[in-house]
Amino acid sequence: MIVRYYAITASGRVGHGAISPEARYCAILWQGEHRIERRHLTGGAWKKLDVEVSSASSSVERDSEVWHSLAPNDAGAEILATSMVDVSAAPLRVAAAIDAQLREQGR
């Protein structure tokens, strides 16, 4: 399944995010933190993210669903798509596999 990774600067913090609409996975790992911050989104948001995540563009617009999912309360945030990875894992291990890749992005 495709996972899109992002570099994020928001609310005075720097971090990395990951979104996989197919896995219903959206999370941020802030620099210096160990806990991955999950985002819980509505069904309508996932439909929009499915289109946006598969886009080849690295820029993220302020009115996009990606922006609303990763930095909903920071109009001055900076979000840049950095990579797209095809992650394959057993169904019960998908989140753990994406978590591992997200931690790797933060190194």
Res 30: pLDDT: 97
The mean per-residue pLDDT over the stretch 23-41 comes to 95
- Tokens in use for 62? 């302020």
Res 107: pLDDT: 77
DSSP-derived pairing of the beta strands 78-86 and 2-10: antiparallel
User: Band of the pLDDT at 10, cuts 50, 70, 90?
Assistant: very high
Per-residue pLDDT of 45-80, as tens digits, reads 999 999 999 887 888 999 999 999 999 989 899 999
Cβ contact 79:70 at 8 Å: yes
Res 45: pLDDT: 94
